Structure 1
């Protein structure tokens, strides 16, 4: 008799990720960053440290150029990013994080570091190391032996 196929690992990974992101955004809202959405955090990942063009951001997020432009407009109106002349392309613009954007990143890093310390205290350093190693291996396994270079928002 063949074992029943399961997919609970996929569900658990998704639930874990979503739970962490939801907790992070509750924290960010309490700290004055309630206008930042999960997709913006993915964008900040690409914009730090040296900025990116709208096209580069669209490629990284795997979204249309129009969607990236709308996201940049939204973040610029709220003071998280600024458009600057591109140093190599006179027609292009480089999108960089403002002090407010960097402050949001620092708040995110502090929250996620605290969460990882809590998990390490609960699970133990060895299990956390094994978990990280196994998750990295899993991601690389399903991506042909490499870590993906895109980070598409899922909501």
Structure 2
């Protein structure tokens, strides 16, 4: 665990953050070893918006909550590195649909294999029952997020 003051290591927010950071760091280290060193963590959120059939830049702006210019810059970068391609939109003659290229799909396959490997290691570390309970509990928390909070 990274060196932080003890009082900040036991609260859930810190633990989630540190676990996510460790997961992300290992993912990107291993992606780099596989030839995907030009991908950054922020790109992962954009990729999720492209699965399975692509998306418009406007849809990505709404999904990511960032400016049109920022999305456009990310798409330019990913297109230059052959992860995405912009195609004419099938139902909007003026619009473009951003879709994954073969390299983009290869990246997602590699990411899934790496995540599965990490989860298997975590399952060995804490036991498969604990890992499955953690997954189930987190899903329940996410599904009920915002319920019962003061307005």
Taking structure 2 as the reference length, what is the TM-score of the superposition?
A: 0.87
Higher relative contact order (CA 8 A, sep 6+): 1
Can you list the C-alpha shifts for 1:40-72, whole angstroms capped at 9, x where unaligned?
111111101100000111111111111111110
Alpha-carbon RMSD across the aligned residues, in angstroms, is: 1.6
2:139 corresponding residue in structure 1: 136
The 5-angstrom pairing of residues 51-66 of structure 1 reads 51-66=54-69
1:46 aligns with one of 37, 49, 74:
49
Can you list the C-alpha shifts for 1:64-114, whole angstroms capped at 9, x where unaligned?
111111110010001000000000100000000000100110110000011
Residue ranges of structure 2 left out of the alignment (5+ in a row):
1-8
1:110 aligns with one of 105, 109, 113:
113
Structure 2 residue 101 is the aligned partner of structure 1 residue 101:
no
2:128 corresponding residue in structure 1: 125
Taking structure 1 as the reference length, what is the TM-score of the superposition?
A: 0.85
The 5-angstrom pairing of residues 22-41 of structure 1 reads 22-41=25-44
Residue ranges of structure 1 left out of the alignment (5+ in a row):
1-5, 146-155
The 5-angstrom pairing of residues 55-94 of structure 1 reads 55-94=58-97
2:3 corresponding residue in structure 1: none
Between the two proteins, the alignment pairs up a number of residues equal to 140
Seen in structure 2, the aligned counterparts of structure 1 residues 144 and 91 have a Cα distance that, compared at 3 Å, is farther
